[in-house]
Amino acid sequence: MSPDSGLKGFCSRNILIILGFSFIMAVIALIAVGLTQNKTLPENVKYGIVLDAGSSHTTLYIYKWPAEKENDTGVVNQIYECKVKGPGISQYAHKTSDLVIYLTTCMERAREVIPISQHQETPVYLGATAGMRLLRLQEEWLADDVLTMVTQILNNYPFDFRGARILSGEEEGAYGWITVNYLLGKFTKKLRWLTLMPNDNESQETYGALDLGGASTQITFVPQNQTIESPQNALYFRLYGKDYSVYTHSFLCYGKDQALLQKVAKDIQATNGTIQDPCFNHGYSRVMNVSDIYNSTCTWEFQNRLPFHQFEIQGIGDFEECQQSIIKLFNTSQCPYSRCAFNEIFLPQLQGQFGAFSAYYYVMKFLNLTSEEPISQEKMIDTIKKFCSRPWKELKTNFGDVKEKYLSEYCFSGTYIISLLQTGYHFTPDNWKNIHFMGQIRNTDVGWTLGYMLNLTNMIPAEQPMSTPLSHSTYVFLMVFFSLILIAVVVIGLIIFHKPSIFWKDMV
C-alpha cells in the first residue's frame, strides 16, 4: 500500500469521525430545542365571560385560552365583544323588569359563540362601575334591586354565573393596570435558553394605567423609590414572582359625562336661563331640564333654587375659555401631603410610560391623535383648539354619521382630557410623550374586564411559571440551522463513502 493511499484512508476516517460527531450533536441539538420549546399541546380550551356594566353602557366580552396554559402569559385572547343596546344598568333602577330584554341579545350571542359542551363550565362575571357606585350613594336599595334582577336574569342562562357586584374605584383602577401590563407582557421575565432561569436584566418596568369613563376616572402606576403617603391609595400584588407596590385612585364624578354635568350645574347659577358655552361649537344649541342636571349625586353641591325649569346651552367654541371653566372643577388650593393631584388627593411623582384607554382613546381616535408615535402636548392642544373653533354646521356636514350627542361633546371632552392630564395629574410637556392612547393590545380591548377575570380565575400566579425560553422566530431559526447541518453532514458523508475520488480530487 502506497503512503498516499494510507494518508487518504487516515484522513477519510478522521473526516468521517468528525462528520459522525457533527451529525450526533446536530440531532441532540434538534431534540433539545424541540423539547425545551414545546409543551404538551392543549387538548381543550376554556372560555370566560365578563360584562362591563358602565355608567353609560354595558359591554359583554368573551375570552378564550388553552386549558393547559392557564398560568402562562399572553395566552388569553378576546374572541368576541357585544355592546348592549341602551344606557348603563343604573338607568334601569325604576324599571328593573326591562333588564331582561336589555341583556337578552348579547347573552344569546354568547350561547352561540361558546360551544354547547363548554357552557356549564364557562364562568360569567358582571362588574358594575361608577354609574352604580353613584346610584348606591343616592339610593342603596335601588342599587340592590338592580343587582338582584341582573343576578336572576344571568342565573337563567346555562353558564357558571359567579355573581354581579359593584367594583370599588380602586379595584377598577387596579384591574385596568393588570390588563395593560398582562397584555404587554410586563409581568413575566424572559428565560435564557439552556439555563431555564429568569434573566433579571430583561425584566421591564410596568406601564401606568389611565382610565376615563363616563362617571369616574382612575390613575394607577408603580411609583419607584417613593412612599405612598395615603394608605387608602396603596395596593400590593405578588404577580409572577415579583412584588408590586401600586398607587391607585379613582376620582368619582370626574368621568367626562359627570364632569360636564358639574360644569353646566356651576355655570347656570349666574344666568337667566341661557348659557353661552365655550365648550360647544359655535352655532350649536341644546335645551335641558334643570332637574336632569341636579338628579346626579355629583351636582348636589351646586343645587340652588332657580327661577326657570329649563335652560338653553348656546355654543361659542373657544378652547381657552372652555379650559378655564373646566379647570375650576379641580380644587388645587390645598394639599395635606407632599404632592397632590386635586381635591386634596395624594399623587406620587409621575414615572414611566402610561397607557390611556376607554374614553381617553375614543375621544383621541375621533380627533385623529392615536398614532403609534407619541403626540406632543402642543400638537394635541392645537388640534383640539382648531376642532372647537369649527362651526357646528360644518361638523354636521362632515360628520353626519356620528351621533349628535357625541359629536357635540367632542370639544368639551378633548379639552377636559387636556385639563385633567395637565392640571389634575400634572403631566408636563416633557413627560407628555410617555402617554400612549390604547384601544386594543393584541386584538384584546384594554380595560378592567380582563384583569378582573384573570384575578377571579387565579390565572396570574404569585410565583413565576415556566414559559417558553425562545421566541418563535429564534426557535424556527435554530431548527432550520441544525437541520441544514444534518443535511450537509449526510451529503458530505455519502460523497466520501461512495465516491472518495471526487473528494480527494477537489482537495488536490
218 is in an annotated binding site: yes
Q: Is 141 left (phi over 0), alpha (psi -120 to 50) or beta?
A: alpha
Query: Residue 146 in contact with residue 92, Cβ under 8 Å?
Result: yes
C-alpha grid cell for residue 292?
Answer: 336632569
- Report residue 435 CA to chain centroid gap: 13
Q: Which of 49, 282, 5 is nearest to 163 (CA)?
A: 49
CA distance 468 to 183: 17
In degrees rounded to 5, what are phi and psi of residue 260? -65, -40
C-alpha grid cell for residue 339?
Answer: 404632592
Angle at 500 between CA 494 and CA 505, to 5 degrees: 130
CA distance 269 to 293: 12
216 is in an annotated binding site: yes
| Length of the chain (residues) | 508
CA distances from 179 to 350, 351, 357, 445, 487 (A): 20, 19, 11, 9, 46
214 is in an annotated binding site: yes
- Report residue 84 CA to chain centroid gap: 20
CA distance 223 to 360: 22
Query: Residue 190 in contact with residue 202, Cβ under 8 Å?
Result: yes
215 is in an annotated binding site: yes
Q: Which of 123, 134, 111 is nearest to 50 (CA)?
A: 123
Which residues are catalytic, by number?
172
Q: Binding site: what residues are annotated?
A: 214-218
Q: Binding site for ATP: what residues are annotated?
A: 214-218
